[in-house]
Amino acid sequence: MDKKFVPLPISIPEPAPQELEDARRVIGTLPIEKLLLEDEDNDTILHIYAAKGMRAYTLAVAERMKLLRRLDAKEHRGKTPLLVAVTARQPAIVYDLIQTGADVNAVDNKGQSALHLAATYGYAQVLQVILSLGFPLDLEMKDFEGHTPLHCAVLAHNALLREQGCQTLTEEQQKGLQHQSEELESCIHLLVQTGASIYSRDVKSNKTVLHFTVQDGNISLLRYFLELNAFKSKDFVNNKAHGNTALHMAAALPRDKNQEEIVQLLLDHGADPSIRNLDNDQPIHMAPSGKAGDQIASNFWNGFNFSLLIAQGLLEKP
Residue-range domain boundaries for the chain: 203-318
C-alpha to C-alpha distances, 295 to 150, 175, 254, 255, nearest whole angstrom = 35, 35, 12, 10
Residue-level pLDDT at 11: 83
Sorting pLDDT into bands at 50, 70 and 90, what band is 229? Answer: confident
Of 119, 113, 132, 126, nearest to 72 (Cα)? 113
- Looking at residue 315, what is its pLDDT? 55
pLDDT digits (tens, 9 = 90+) for 143-171: 999 999 999 999 999 999 988 877 788 88
Rounded Cα gap, residues 179 and 177, in angstroms: 5
Question: 163-167, 220-224, 263-267: which range is least confident on average?
Answer: 163-167
How many other C-beta atoms can be found within 10 angstroms of the C-beta atom of residue 101?
Answer: 14
Q: What percentage of the chain exceeds 90 in pLDDT? A: 75
pLDDT at 311 (0 to 100) = 47
pLDDT score for 134: 87
List, for residues 15-54, the tens digit of each pLDDT value. Answer: 999 999 999 999 999 999 999 999 999 999 999 999 999 9
Average pLDDT over residues 71-83: 98
Nearest to 248 by CA among 258, 257, 259, 256: 259
Residue 7's pLDDT band, with cuts at 50, 70 and 90, is low
Check residues 213 and 9 and name the one with the higher pLDDT. Answer: 213
CATH class of domain segment(s) 203-318: mainly alpha
- Scanning the chain, the segments in alpha helix (DSSP H) are 17-28, 32-36, 45-52, 55-67, 81-87, 91-100, 114-121, 124-132, 149-164, 171-194, 209-215, 219-228, 234-238, 246-251, 259-268, 291-295, 306-311
Q: Please report, rounded to a whole number, the percentage of residues in the chain having pLDDT higher than 70.
A: 87
How many angstroms separate the CA atoms of 301 and 197, rounded?
Answer: 31
Name the 3-class secondary structure at 241: strand
Output 292 or 199, whichever has higher pLDDT: 199
Whether 232 shows a pLDDT value over 70: the answer reads no
Query: Which residue(s) pair with 244 in the sheet?
Result: 241
Q: Contact, 73 vs 80, CB < 8 A?
A: yes
pLDDT band of residue 299 (cuts 50, 70, 90) is very low
Whole-number Å distance between alpha carbons of 277 and 279: 5
Residue-level pLDDT at 303: 46
At 265 the three-state DSSP class reads: helix
Going by pLDDT thresholds of 50, 70 and 90, the confidence category of residue 263 is very high
Q: Over the range 228-258, which residues count as b (16 or more CB within 10 Å of their CB) and which as e?
A: ebeeeeeebbbbbbeebbbbbbbbbbeeebb
Q: How many CB atoms lie within 10 A of CB 150?
A: 27
Q: What pLDDT does 198 receive?
A: 95
In this predicted structure, what is the pLDDT of residue 116?
Answer: 98
Q: Give me the mean pLDDT over the 64-92 stretch.
A: 97
pLDDT score for 4: 47
Query: Is residue 244 classed as helix, strand or coil in its secondary structure?
Result: strand
As a whole number of angstroms, the distance between CA 78 and CA 316 comes to 53
Neighbours of 289 (CB within 10 A): 7
